[in-house]
Structure 1
Amino acid sequence: MSLKYIIYGAISLAMFSCATKQDINYMKDIDGIALENSIKNSRVDFQPGDQLIITVSAKDMDVVKPFNQNYASSTTITQYSIPSSNNLPQQTPLSGPTYNIDTNGDIIFPQIGKVSTKNENIETLRAKLTGLLSEYVKAPIVDIKLINFKVSVLGEVTKPGTYVIPDGNTTLFGALGLAGDLTAFGVRNNVLIVRNIDGQISKERIDLTSANFINSPYYYLKQNDVIYVQPNANREKAARVDPNTGLYISVASVIASITVGILALIKN
């Protein structure tokens, strides 16, 4: 009889192990994680390390040639576009004089010299350079591209990560498209966007099932916005199941088969 109780005990232990679950909800503190990511990377205006392509044009292009000298080499970056298939992003060369903003927030512009970008964005820097160039060129046209504009897309999307947007302009739908759209487990009516403007953190929950958010200030994304798509209840439930459950069931099945055989021998 003692052997019988030992066998029953082994079966009970195996079955208990099968029921063991583990809480692996990695993103319980996602607001804090996204907030930290945003504080680390966010800015609205230009800052040291930004890369700009600045080209000058006018009616007489020969006149503006001195202002289009390449003080830094042209760059090749990953060109992202909203995918219509499974094609990978392409490496695309962006032509034009490339300027790296130095640690003091300055660029060295041909013929003009040092130009500060502190507290400037694309629009205000364009106006500043247009004013400076007007002393040399009649009706100059200045084009500026921020070529390391990036946003982060996290959570229940097909391809989470940080995406560089070469034209410096994208919408929430555009960023989600780059990330391969939401998975079947993504909550579509509670998408989190974290933004940092001049040190002021804002967090907004967006309902993608409603068209009202198109008029929201979060429809068009800003530099280093962080987007998080939370998992639905089914995904969270699946995440809490011990990944070894299948192994436990297999072991329990083997033990049960052996037990049946031993009990049959004991009866005989």
Structure 2
Amino acid sequence: MHRFITPFVFVVGILALFSSCVPLKDSIYLQGDMAVKLEDIEGQYKTEKEDYLVKPHDLLYIRVTSLDERSSAFLNNDAGFNQIANNPMSASLLGYRVGLDGSIDYPFLGKIYVAGLTLPEIARKVELAASKYIDQSGAIVKLLNDNITIMGEVRGPGRFLLNSEEISILEALALAGDVTDYANRRRVRLIRKDGDTPKMLIIDTTDERIMYSPFYYVKPGDVIYVEPHRLKQWSLSTIPLGFSMSLVSASLLIFSIFSTN
């Protein structure tokens, strides 16, 4: 019995060398005790979500409203709105594209400078411009290119439309089906374009302090790349079955030679 158990343990040890067990600690998001650490980190990290500032090439949906919809109908493209609802791909043709000079050209209202403004600020600007034609006007402004790209070690990579104004990086990963077993949660790359210069930040999603970081909430246009774990290349599941059996046979042969000697 002892002669059987010893080579068995030897083979298991060889196979364990090629396996890729990720420690449980590396698989948990937001580790730590907030009740203990809150006093230490409070004030060091920005706790409020930064408002998105419109920039050139953004695509805006704008609708002017009033108490009498017939009065504001000439300022809106209702048919276009219905096309966007039925076919999101038509948004690029029916939205208002922000030009390189930071403005949009709105029918009857002329050029409106919007770059560097938040969506509510743009709505107020459109409302003010429309007040020259109609009384008690209002405006609704939304971002049509409101999407992010998620790739790397996630179960469903792709481009995703943001269905809320507040999406955290963890919620964004959930949109892609969460990370795979081989994902390195300590090295999630966030690529964000600030002006004409892209910036990249490596985020440790196991660190609870990211909830107080200005990068905790994603912005339209963000690219998230989840790095693979170094041990992925040694994963036993990626080794062909024939090779695995040959490895076991060779291990037993080597052990038997050394044990007889």
Q: Secondary structure of 1:189's match?
A: strand
Question: Which of 112, 124, 129 lines up with 2:109 in the alignment?
Answer: 112
Pairwise CA distance, 1:93 = 10
What letter matches 2:202 in structure 1?
Answer: R
Report the secondary structure of 1:235's partner residue: helix
Q: Does 1:63 align with 2:71?
A: yes
In 1, the alpha carbon distance for the partners of 2:77 and 2:84 equals 18
Alignment partner of 1:45 is 2:42 = no
Is the 2:150–2:224 Cα contact (8 Å) retained in structure 1? yes
Take 2:83 and 2:55, find their aligned partners in 1: how far apart are those partners? 18
Give distance in 2, aligned partners of 1:69 and 1:75: 10
Q: Which consecutive residues of structure 2, in runs of 5 or more, have no partner in the other structure?
A: 1-17, 19-51, 249-261
Counterpart in 2 of 1:101?
97
Which one of the candidate residues 184, 187, 190 is aligned to 1:187? Answer: 184
- The corresponding residue for 1:11 is none
Corresponding residue number in structure 2 for 1:234: 231
**Structure 2 counterpart of 1:144, one-letter code:** V
1:32-60 Cα offsets, whole Å, 9 max, x none, are xxxxxxxxxxx963433x43221122334
- The residue type equivalent to 1:130 in the other structure is E
One-letter amino acid of the counterpart of residue 228, structure 2:
P
Give the deviation of 1:238 after TM superposition.
2.7
Which residue of 1 is the match for residue 7 of structure 2? none
Q: Which residue of 2 aligns with 1:159?
A: 156
Q: Check 1:125–1:163 CA distance in 2 against 1; reply closer, same or farther (3 A cut).
A: same
1:6-49 CA-partner distances (Å, limit 9, x unpaired): xxxxxxxxxxxxxxx9xxxxxxxxxxxxxxxxxxxxx963433x
TM-score of the two chains, using structure 2 as the length reference: 0.59
Residue 186 of structure 1 aligns with an amino acid whose one-letter code is A
Cα deviation code 1:219-266 (max 9, x no counterpart): 121122111222224323239x7x6x545567999xxxxxxxxxxxxx
Q: Which amino acid aligns with 2:69?
A: M
Contact 1:58/1:64 (CA < 8 Å) preserved in 2?
yes
Cα distance change of structure 1 residues 199 and 70 upon mapping to structure 2, 3 Å threshold: same
Structure 1 vs Structure 2 CA RMSD: 4.0
Max Rg structure: 1
Give the equivalent residue in structure 1 for 2:62.
Answer: 54
What is the CA distance between 1:186 and its match in structure 2? 1.6
The 1:44/1:247 distance shift into structure 2, 3 A limit, reads farther
* C-alpha distance 59-70 of structure 1, shift in aligned 2 (>3 A): closer
Structure 2 residue matching 1:223: 3-state secondary structure: coil
1:108–1:199 distance in 2 versus 1, CA, 3 Å:
closer
State the AA in 2 paired with 1:57.
Answer: T
Check if 1:122 corresponds to 2:119. Answer: yes
C-alpha distance in structure 1 between counterparts of 2:112 and 2:82, whole Å? 20
Distance 1:188 1:248 in 2: 30
Q: 1:227 to 1:62 in 2, by over 3 A?
A: same
The letter of the residue matching 1:66 is: F
- Contact persistence 1:47–1:118 (CA under 8 A): yes
Native 8 Å contact 2:53 2:115 kept in 1: no
> Partner amino acid for 1:210?
D
Q: Aligned residue pairs: how many?
A: 197
Distance 2:131 2:142 in 1: 20
Structure 2 residue aligned with 1:26:
none
